[in-house]
Amino acid sequence: MLNPWLELDAVRDLASAMSERAHLDLITLGTTAGADEIRDTAVTQPLVVATALLAADRLPLPAGVPVAGHSVGELAAAAIAGVLPPLDAVELAAVRGLAMSAACALAPTGMSAVMGGDVETVLATLAELDLVGANVNGGGQIVAAGSLAALAALAADPPSGTRIIPLPVAGAFHTSYMGSAETTLARHIRSITPADPQRPLLTNSDGSVIGGTGSGSMFLHLLVGQVTRPVRWDLCMQTLADLRVTGVLELPPAGTLIGLVRRELKGVATIAVKTPDDLEAAADFVAEHAGVTL
C-alpha cells in the first residue's frame, strides 16, 4: 500500500510521525508485512486512515468539497474536513482498531455480505435471526453481523434472490458486540479538542451533513457511537445525490466505494486514487467536479 507513496518528498517523514502516534511501524506494515500481519483490525484501521491521509495531503481540495468516509474512513474524513489534525485521526484509528480487536475476542462473531434481494425483506430476515444490518451499503449490498451460529443459519436459508458471502473479519463490527470498544473510545476522546468542519461532512449515522457551531464535537461523539451502530452508506450516497455531486473520488485503498456509487448513482463520474500515478488525473477530476469521498 505505502511503497509508491513513500517515494514522494516528505511523505516518509509524515508516515513516521503517524507511526509514532499509532504506536505501530506503519511504514513496515504498509510495505513489507505479510497478509496475516495487516489483517488484524488493530493494524488495518490505522494503516487505512494513514494511507488515505497521505494521499489527501497531495490533492488540492477546494473549499466546499463534501467529504464522506465509510466506517473507519470517517476518521480520515474528519481530518480532511478539519475536525481533527491528521495525526490525531491516525492515533484515534489505532485506539479504535485495538479496542475493536479486543471486543472481537469476547464472543465468536462475524460478518457476511448479503448480495441482492429487497432491502426491507433482508433487514427483516436479519432481525428474525438476531443479526444486524451492520453496513447498509446500497447498490444491492447489506453486510449482516452477529453470532457465527446466526450467520450459519442465514447462509443455510437466505432471503429470496440473495447470495451470502462470509467475510474474513474478526468479529461483528458496528453491533452491540463492540460495546467495550465504544467505552474505550469515549474515554480516549476526552483528550481531543475538535474543531468544527470546514467542509460539508457526512455522517454514517444517517447520511446527514454535519455543520455549524459545536458540530465538530458532535461528529466526534458520533464517531464513538458508530462502532456499535450500522453504517448507512446508502443514506450517504443519497445525500451526495441531493447535493448534486457530479463526481466521486475515492482515496486509497480505493475501488470498493466507487463500485457502489456506480451501481447506485447512475451518471455520476468516479475515479479511484490508488498510487501517486493517479494524482494528476485526480487533481483534474476534482477541479471539474469538486466532489470527494473516501
Q: Give the type of residue at 12.
A: R
Q: Which pLDDT value is given to residue 92?
A: 98
- Please tell me which residue in 19, 70, 71, 205 is annotated as part of the active site: 71
Q: Give the pLDDT score at 96.
A: 98
Alpha carbon distance 192, 40 (integer Å): 26
Q: Which pLDDT belongs to residue 292? A: 47
- Is the pLDDT at 294 greater than 70? The verdict is no
Enter the C-alpha cell of residue 182. Answer: 465504544
Q: What is the mean pLDDT of the chain?
A: 94
Question: Which residues 6+ apart lie within 8 Å of 251 measured at CB?
Answer: 51, 52, 55, 56, 76, 273, 292, 294
Choice among 70, 174, 205, 289 that is catalytic: 174
- pLDDT at 212 (0 to 100): 87
pLDDT at 252: 94
What confidence tens digit (pLDDT) does each residue in 40-61 have? 999 999 999 999 999 999 998 8
- pTM, rounded to two decimals: 0.94
pLDDT recorded at residue 233: 97
pLDDT digit string, tens, across residues 203-235: 999 999 998 889 999 999 999 999 999 999 999
The residue written with cell numbers 452491540 in the block is: 176
Q: What is the pLDDT of residues 244-286, one digit of tens each?
A: 999 999 999 998 999 999 999 999 999 999 999 999 999 999 9
Is there a catalytic annotation at residue 174? yes
71 annotated active-site: yes
Percent of the chain with pLDDT over 70: 99
List the domain boundaries for the chain.
5-104+176-289
What pLDDT, in 10s, does the model give residues 5-32?
A: 999 989 999 999 999 999 999 999 999 9
Confidence of residue 36 (pLDDT cuts 50, 70, 90): confident
Q: Which CATH number is 5-104+176-289's, of 3.90.870.30, 3.40.366.10, 2.30.30.830, 3.40.50.2000?
A: 3.40.366.10
What 224-227 contacts at long range (C-beta under 8 Å, 24+ apart), as own/partner pairs, is 224/182, 224/185, 224/186, 224/189, 225/182, 226/71, 226/74, 226/174, 227/96, 227/99, 227/100, 227/173, 227/174, 227/178, 227/181, 227/182, 227/185
pLDDT at residue number 196: 96
Residues 67-104: tens digit of each pLDDT:
999 999 999 999 999 999 999 999 999 999 999 999 99
Between 86 and 288, the more confident residue is: 86
Q: What is the mean pLDDT of residues 236-248?
A: 95
pLDDT value, residue 186: 97
